[in-house]
């Protein structure tokens, strides 16, 4: 089992560093390219949502920590932030039957996170949001 941890500044410019870090961790632990890609995409979306929404109008200091636990069977990503409380597991899914040109912008990020992973859980501990995403390596 490998455990990786990265603290990032809550800035969009940090997303590329996050992606490189996830890719390096997955490669180092022999995670298949397609599984690594899905986890990178889900983490990018989740952290971007934290940066864009959880901290908007929320008093600093802002903190984001990402942990990646890789076992022989599973990848578990945990995002911990001190932003505004928000449970993405309770957000309704988008209506994909509506033609693209008639949809409101946005709203697909949580759907993407759900479809790229095998499970998402959320909890709030005191002032911290904890989002966990899991993906099987099989």
Query: What domains does the chain contain, in order, with CATH numbers?
Result: 2-136 (3.30.565.10)
- Lowest-pLDDT choice from 10-14, 40-44, 80-84, 95-99: 95-99
pTM of the model: 0.89
**pLDDT of amino acid 105:** 59
Q: What is the pLDDT of residue 11?
A: 94
Give the span between the Cα atoms of 123 and 130, in whole angstroms: 5
Which pLDDT score, from 0 to 100, does residue 1 have? 80
Pairing mode, strands 119-125 and 2-8? unpaired
Which tens digits make up the pLDDT trace of 95-123? 666 776 766 656 677 888 999 999 999 99
Reported as a single tens digit per residue, the pLDDT across 37-58 is: 999 999 999 999 999 999 999 9
- Taking all residues of the chain, what is their mean pLDDT, rounded to a whole number? 92
SS (H, E, C) 3-18: EEEEEECCCHHHHHHH
Say how far apart CA 96 and CA 94 lie, in whole Å: 6
State the Cα–Cα distance between residues 133 and 64, nearest whole angstrom.
Answer: 15
Between vectors from CA 17 to CA 15 and to CA 23, what angle results, nearest 5°? 105
């Amino acid at each position: 089992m490998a455990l990786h941890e990265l603290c990032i500044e809550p800035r969009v410019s940090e997303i590329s560093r996050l992606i490189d870090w996830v890719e390096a961790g997955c490669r180092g632990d022999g995670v298949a390219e397609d599984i690594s890609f899905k986890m990178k995409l889900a983490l990018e979306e989740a952290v971007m949502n934290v940066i864009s929404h959880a901290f908007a109008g929320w008093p600093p200091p802002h903190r984001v920590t990402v942990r990646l636990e890789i076992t022989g069977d599973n990848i578990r990503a945990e995002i911990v932030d001190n932003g505004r409380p928000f449970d993405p597991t309770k957000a309704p899914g988008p209506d994909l039957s509506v033609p693209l040109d008639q949809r409101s912008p946005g709203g697909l990020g949580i759907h993407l996170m759900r479809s790229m992973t095998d499970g998402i859980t959320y909890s709030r501990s005191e002032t911290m949001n904890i989002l966990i995403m899991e993906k099987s390596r099989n």
